[in-house]
Amino acid sequence: MNEFDLIDVFFKQPALTRPDVLLGIGDDAALLIPPKDQQIAASMDTLVDGVHFLASTPAEYIGHKALAVNLSDLAAMGAEPAWVMLALTLPNANEKWLHDFAKGFYALANLYQLTLIGGDTTHGPLSITIQIQGFVPAGLALRRDGAKPGDKIYVSGTLGDAGAALAAAKYQTILSASEQQYVMQRLHLPTPRVALGLALRSVASSAIDVSDGLLADLRHIVTNSRAGAEIHTHQIPLSSALQKLPRTTALEYALSAGDDYELCFTVPSEKSDQIKIISEKVGVPCTCIGEITNSSDIQVSGETLNLTRQGYQHF
């Protein structure tokens, strides 16, 4: 299979056409119609074999996750996903792998009416880069720099599941088969919190997605907002699987392991009543874990933890 057949067979799916895509895959560039009165939020993420996933990871999961992590970035901006580009570097044209990858990718893309408008296909060590664009009304994007002292800090869903999944072999006797399956699914098939991000426009004062670990990501909010934070360990939401692990281990995963793709956001206290309603409307639990302070660092109160690292760093 040559490069052009491969693109035609696996990626030129006419499954979904959006009126704002004048020309999609097949020319030197895509032609897009920018929406009136909205800003474009653009983001890019790369997954590298051996760094973000193992060669043994099913390709369908990789297709899902490569897109999910990008959707998560748009969710954290409160942007509505629209267009996506895919750069694939492949060691070989393995048709089964490509078929499975495309299946995972398209299942998620179709769910969000996201159109693949182009990309690049090259030969080399396996890596996947996705660039995504979405729309947000002017002034309503959820940025990292809007948190103010007194704002409540929330997280969606539960934290630490993906971190525990990476070490699941250690917990085979503690977790049931279904709990192990649950944490594995959280690692491989994260759910981007797109609807929550959209519902938080005009409500949240800042937001970020938890990709590197809660403390590391919250650090970006406090640094950019020139503030501090206090979080309470007893308030950190843990899944029933994580609740079975030794308490300090579970909290360490929740605070400093990455790959959760939940949203961490801040809300002025007078608007915090709205979170319960939003949470019910979008069907995603949201838990208050602390508040923004006047200091310049993050205090963790509650249980004593020995956190050796605050989050994932590449270098």
Residues that bind ligand ADP (CB under 6 A): 7, 11, 25-28, 86, 88, 116, 118-121
Helix (H) or strand (E) holding 264: strand 263-267
In this chain, which residue has its C-beta nearest to Mg ion? 120
In this chain, which residue has its C-beta nearest to ligand ADP? 118
Judged by beta carbon, residue 116 or residue 227, the one nearer ligand ADP is: 116
| 28 binds, options ligand ADP, Mg ion, none, Cβ within 5 to 8 A by partner type | ligand ADP
| 197 binds, options ligand ADP, Mg ion, none, Cβ within 5 to 8 A by partner type | none
Shortest spacing between CB 3 and ligand ADP, in angstroms = 7
Instruction: Answer yes or no whether residue 280 interacts with Mg ion by CB under 5 A.
Output: no
Judged by beta carbon, residue 62 or residue 86, the one nearer ligand ADP is: 86
Shortest spacing between CB 178 and ligand ADP, in angstroms = 36
* Cβ contacts of 187 within 8 Å, gap of 6 or more: 161, 162, 165, 166, 259
d(CA 127, CA 109): 19
Size of the site for Mg ion (CB under 5 A): 1
Contact code string over 94-123 relative to Mg ion, x by CB under 5 A: --------------------------x---
Buried b / exposed e over 243-271, threshold 16 CB at 10 Å, is eebeeebbbbbbbbbbbbbbbbbbbbeee
d(CA 59, CA 304): 40
Query: In degrees, to the nearest 5, what angle opens at C-alpha 195 toward C-alphas 193 and 201?
Result: 105
Judged by beta carbon, residue 116 or residue 236, the one nearer ligand ADP is: 116
Shortest spacing between CB 86 and ligand ADP, in angstroms = 4
* Cβ contacts of 294 within 8 Å, gap of 6 or more: 149, 227, 228
DSSP 19: T
Q: How many angstroms from the chain centroid is the CA of residue 96?
A: 27
| 290 binds, options Mg ion, ligand ADP, none, Cβ within 5 to 8 A by partner type | none
Judged by beta carbon, residue 62 or residue 116, the one nearer ligand ADP is: 116
Judged by beta carbon, residue 133 or residue 211, the one nearer ligand ADP is: 133
* Cβ contacts of 217 within 8 Å, gap of 6 or more: 208, 209, 210, 211, 264, 311
d(CA 89, CA 46): 11
Please say whether the beta carbons of 61 and 188 come within 8 A: yes
Shortest spacing between CB 114 and ligand ADP, in angstroms = 13
Helix (H) or strand (E) holding 86: strand 80-90
Shortest spacing between CB 120 and Mg ion, in angstroms = 5
Count the neighbouring beta carbons within 10 Å of the beta carbon of residue 122. 10
Shortest spacing between CB 94 and ligand ADP, in angstroms = 14
Contact code string over 41-60 relative to Mg ion, x by CB under 5 A: --------------------
Residue whose pair of structure tokens reads 């070989």 in the numeric block: 92
| 270 binds, options Mg ion, ligand ADP, none, Cβ within 5 to 8 A by partner type | none
Instruction: Answer yes or no whether residue 3 interacts with Mg ion by CB under 5 A.
Output: no
Binding positions for Mg ion, rule: CB under 5 A: 120
